[in-house]
Amino acid sequence: MIKSRHTVTLIPGDGIGPELLSHVREVFRYSCVPVDFEVVHVNSALASQDDMDNAITAIRRNGVALKGNIETKHTLPPSVKSRNNILRTSLDLYANVMHCQSLSGVQTRHKNIDIMIIRENTEGEYSNLEHESVSGVVESLKIITRNNSLRIAEYAFKLAREKGRRRVTAVHKANIMKLGDGLFLQCCKEVASGYPDITFDSMIVDNTTMQLVSKPQQFDVMVMPNLYGNVVSNVCAGLVGGPGLVPGANYGRDYAVFETATRNTGKSIAGRNIANPTAMLLASCMMLDHLKLNDYASLIRNGVLTTMNETRVVAHSRYWGLGTTSDVVQSVMKNIQSKGQLTAEL
Amino acid sequence: CTQKTSYRSFYFFAKDIVQLKSLWSLQFGNYLQSFKSNSFQILSHFTMQTVTLIPGDGIGPEISTAVMKIFEAAKAPIQWEERNVTAIQGPGGKWMIPPDAKESMDKNKMGLKGPLKTPIAAGHPSMNLLLRKTFDLYANVRPCMSIEGYKTPYTDVDLVTIRENTEGEYSGIEHIIVDGVVQSIKLITETASKRIAEYAFEYARNNQRTSVTAVHKANIMRMSDGLFLRKCREVAENYKDVKFREMYLDTVCLNMVQDPTQFDVLVMPNLYGDILSDLCAGLIGGLGVTPSGNIGANGVAIFESVHGTAPDIAGLDMANPTALLLSAVMMLRHMGLHAYADKIQIACFDTIKDKKVLTGDLGGKSKCSEFTGEICRRVQDME
């Protein structure tokens, strides 16, 4: 049965999340995208997990979600875990995918970057297993499993093949964490043997960051455990122009959640109409592709990229650009309209 | 200008002041003038000081020779006691460094070390880790400053990473729970966190740095990084003259590659420190030009080059001794021998700035011995 309309869970989150997502809805409405949003609020100030449970149930029902980042309040006791993390692990969104590409309209120190980062999203250092064994001594457990390592490696190679990429690099610290990262590396090697058309190599994480800031063009597809993924994705996002530009996706077997790649709450810029909507808009396009609404995805994506690269309406950035969020959104919608498609009243 | 003149030796000043080329180099020296160890006296320039030298593996021996040559040319009052550190198994099967190496370090307190190889999955712990445990080298300090004459996409980098060096993710404690499930333990303790935080603020105060930023991931690792952060906050209370900030690791990475000038002193647990210090080294040109110092308990300090052993160019006279040399310069400052430190540093930077005699990694075609010779020549010309 071909679906006429899709329902997607929307979690506004904190900071700049709500405003960016309302712009996404504006652009969707304007472009007559057949998507309805079921909005679920999560209150990060509460210790109870009820609202998270509601959100997770909603995503299970709809299968797809678009979200802003939920703040983790340090004033709450350590037993209250990061809600973003709970979401990822409950829905088993094991692959975090980020595509970092240099945009011609953005001024950066490095050019011609085109890196796909696939990050294991459920275990590693984010296992939430901590205890104070003796007073003043805290142990935090990093878990690496064969199953999850094989799974993420398989995902990375499959995606690389699908997208016609030539090389997959595993990022690790197996010289120090011989058993943990050693296992991860071994799993990657095993999966690599099943993809002889794709070159596989590995690199230690500290060398990786050093290479990224000097010669980022050497990287193609990168696969890594959770924490290194956090570091590498933020470095790459910074290299192509900042957190406001790059979309991210979290895929599981049954569910998919889309958000900005670097997951910033952006508290200091919230409510000031200066957040860059590009990342969230591109994330919503990734979502449309996932829903097989590819025409709408291309339409909006082209509108956004034209704004970035041609009409050059740039949002406010600490480092460049002085436009407002609304300026960018208006420009995107104008570019969409100029394609001649049926649009709603502005 | 009194601060600059205070660390210049009398007879160095007696020569032509015009020889002191860039003011910038002096400022570099000023801030690199480092960690005042309480137990260490400022020595007279005429007493020979013995330093334990660990040449290391791969290119280690040739760059150590280069440093010794340059120090000789500068007539620095340093005599070297060479020691080897290969892991040996002591009684009870515990891995340790050779006793003569330990004895030498305990006696001399100052050490200079070349790169050591760390094989993956070899059964014994990494040599560097072993050294750290033996001498309780709790603080790894890496000043990263853009080198004039060695262009990178980043200019005006001037920051210091201070990394907790004994615990955290590098505890070395790993278990196979069941087949296919591995657990690695990250250890954060109150004492170590307090100690590194105190060192960081002391360093900031002694080196006229304006702010200290604690780097953490306490949103995810609530208890462990939470403890680290709490200790930093507590110590910050006693150093109101230094600004204290806290920032998530990912935010630091994101901002570091866009604008590194916003950072000053960064303090963090082991793994983040490892990653960030290498990232910062990449900003200024790589490990081939980055100095590093490890501060231990009991006045011990080991300065080292942090690049690898480069086995592919070992023995071919192609290595770049800059990193080891700058670390040796850091050591001289730590010992109070600022005049020699300045001389050698200026000679090194001028050679790089001049671009005529550069090793392959710096973009030139000269041999290591030629590069060393050029620095020696400049040092001698300064006499």
Contact flag A138-B227 (C-beta cutoff 8 Å): yes
What gap in Å lies between CA B286 and CA A307, rounded to an integer?
A: 37
Choosing among A96, A142, A240, which should be mutated to test the B contact, i.e. which has the most B CBs within 10 A? Answer: A142
Confidence band (pLDDT; 50, 70, 90) for B13?
A: very low
Rounded (5°) CA angle B89-B92-B95: 30
Which residues of chain A neighbour B180 with C-beta distances below 8 Å? 145-147, 183
Choosing among B166, B224, B229, B361, which should be mutated to test the A contact, i.e. which has the most A CBs within 10 A? Answer: B224
pLDDT number for residue A115: 97
Contact flag B129-A239 (C-beta cutoff 8 Å): no
Sheet (strand B158-164) strand order: B78-82, B49-54, B110-113, B301-305, B291-296, B137-145, B158-164, B265-268, B211-216, B243-248
Residue A241: partners with Cβ closer than 8 Å, 6 or more residues away: A102, A103, A106, A107, A108, A317
What gap in Å lies between CA B49 and CA B119, rounded to an integer?
A: 34
Q: Distance of alpha carbon A32 from its chain centroid, rounded? A: 25
pLDDT number for residue B231: 97
Contact flag B126-A238 (C-beta cutoff 8 Å): no
pLDDT number for residue A168: 97
pLDDT number for residue B111: 96
Residue A190: partners with Cβ closer than 8 Å, 6 or more residues away: A150, A153
**Contact between residue B309 and residue B117 where contact means Cβ atoms under 8 Å apart:** yes
Among the partner-chain residues A147, A178, A213, the one whose CB lies closest to the CB of B180 is A147
Question: Has residue B44 got a pLDDT over 70?
Answer: no
- State the DSSP string of B102-150: HHHHHHH-EEEE------TT-SS--HHHHHHHHHTEEEEEEEEEPPTTS
pLDDT number for residue B39: 39
Rounded to the nearest angstrom, the minimum Cα separation between A175 and chain B is 5
- State the DSSP string of A79-94: TS--HHHHHHHHTT--
What gap in Å lies between CA B211 and CA B242, rounded to an integer?
A: 5
Q: What are residue B279's phi and psi, to 5 degrees?
A: -60, -45
Confidence band (pLDDT; 50, 70, 90) for B127?
A: confident
Rounded (5°) CA angle B359-B361-B362: 70
Which residues of chain A neighbour B188 with C-beta distances below 8 Å? 137-138, 140
Among the partner-chain residues A81, A137, A210, the one whose CB lies closest to the CB of B282 is A210
pLDDT number for residue B47: 83
Residue of B nearest to A241 (CA): B258
pLDDT number for residue A48: 83
pLDDT number for residue B8: 46
Q: Alpha helices, DSSP H only, in B238-367?
A: 249-256, 270-284, 322-334, 338-354
Contact flag A213-B154 (C-beta cutoff 8 Å): yes
Mean pLDDT (chain B) is 86
Contact flag B153-A110 (C-beta cutoff 8 Å): yes
Among the partner-chain residues B187, B257, B274, the one whose CB lies closest to the CB of A239 is B257
Confidence band (pLDDT; 50, 70, 90) for B122?
A: low
Question: Has residue B45 got a pLDDT over 70?
Answer: no
**Contact between residue B337 and residue B12 where contact means Cβ atoms under 8 Å apart:** no
pLDDT number for residue B6: 44
- State the DSSP string of A170-223: EEE-TTTSTTHHHHHHHHHHHHHTT-TTSEEEEEEHHHHHHHHHH-GGG--EEE
pLDDT number for residue B33: 46
**Contact between residue A206 and residue B274 where contact means Cβ atoms under 8 Å apart:** yes
What gap in Å lies between CA A239 and CA A222, rounded to an integer?
A: 16
Rounded to the nearest angstrom, the minimum Cα separation between B225 and chain A is 9
Question: Has residue B54 got a pLDDT over 60?
Answer: yes
**Contact between residue A171 and residue A223 where contact means Cβ atoms under 8 Å apart:** yes
* Nearest to A153, CA basis, from A204, A206, A225: A225
Contact flag B257-A235 (C-beta cutoff 8 Å): yes
* B289-344: pLDDT as tens digits: 999 999 998 889 999 998 889 999 999 999 999 999 999 998 998 888 889 999 99
Q: What is the mean pLDDT of residues B193-218?
A: 93
Among the partner-chain residues A140, A180, A213, the one whose CB lies closest to the CB of B221 is A140
pLDDT number for residue B7: 42
Among the partner-chain residues A144, A183, A209, the one whose CB lies closest to the CB of B275 is A209
Phi-psi region of B155 (alpha: psi -120 to 50; beta: other; left: phi over 0): beta
pLDDT number for residue B46: 61
Contact flag A178-B182 (C-beta cutoff 8 Å): no
Question: Has residue B61 got a pLDDT over 80?
Answer: yes
Choosing among B181, B193, B253, which should be mutated to test the A contact, i.e. which has the most A CBs within 10 A? Answer: B253
* B338-359: pLDDT as tens digits: 899 999 999 999 999 999 999 9
| ipTM attached to this prediction | 0.91
- Give the whole-number percent of chain B exceeding pLDDT 90: 66
Rounded to the nearest angstrom, the minimum Cα separation between A31 and chain B is 33
Residue A258: partners with Cβ closer than 8 Å, 6 or more residues away: A64, A65, A66, A67, A247, A248, A249, A250, A283, A284, A286, A287, A290
* B229-285: pLDDT as tens digits: 999 999 999 999 999 999 999 999 999 999 999 999 999 999 999 999 999 999 999
What gap in Å lies between CA B383 and CA B376, rounded to an integer?
A: 11
Which residues of chain B neighbour A319 with C-beta distances below 8 Å? 258-259
Among the partner-chain residues B185, B259, B287, the one whose CB lies closest to the CB of A141 is B185
Which residues of chain B neighbour A263 with C-beta distances below 8 Å? 250
pLDDT number for residue B338: 85
Distance from the first to the final alpha carbon of chain A = 33
Contact flag A176-B169 (C-beta cutoff 8 Å): yes
Among the partner-chain residues B180, B189, B250, the one whose CB lies closest to the CB of A145 is B180
Distance from the first to the final alpha carbon of chain B = 23
* Nearest to A10, CA basis, from A74, A45, A58: A58
pLDDT number for residue B18: 41
Rounded to the nearest angstrom, the minimum Cα separation between A186 and chain B is 11
- State the DSSP string of B237-248: HT-TTSEEEEEE
**Pairs of residues, one from chain A and one from chain B, whose beta carbons lie less than 8 Å apart:** 182
Give B31 or B61, the one with higher predicted confidence.
Answer: B61
Task: Return per-residue pLDDT of chain A as tens, 346 residues.
Answer: 566 899 999 999 999 999 999 999 999 999 999 999 999 999 888 888 899 999 999 999 999 999 999 998 888 888 888 899 999 999 999 999 999 999 988 889 999 999 999 999 999 988 889 999 899 999 999 999 999 999 999 999 999 999 999 999 999 999 889 999 999 999 999 999 999 999 999 999 999 999 999 999 999 999 999 999 999 999 999 999 999 999 999 999 999 999 999 999 999 999 999 999 999 999 999 999 999 999 999 999 999 999 988 766 665 565 556 678 999 999 999 999 988 665 665 4
Contact flag A143-B181 (C-beta cutoff 8 Å): yes
Using CA of residue B203, residue B205, residue B207, residue B210, what is the dihedral sign?
positive
DSSP 8-class letter at B18:
G
pLDDT number for residue B37: 41
A97, two tokens:
């995918």
Confidence band (pLDDT; 50, 70, 90) for B12?
A: very low
pLDDT number for residue A320: 54
Instruction: Tell me the residue type at A155.
Output: Y
Contact flag A137-B187 (C-beta cutoff 8 Å): yes
Which residues of chain A neighbour B276 with C-beta distances below 8 Å? 209
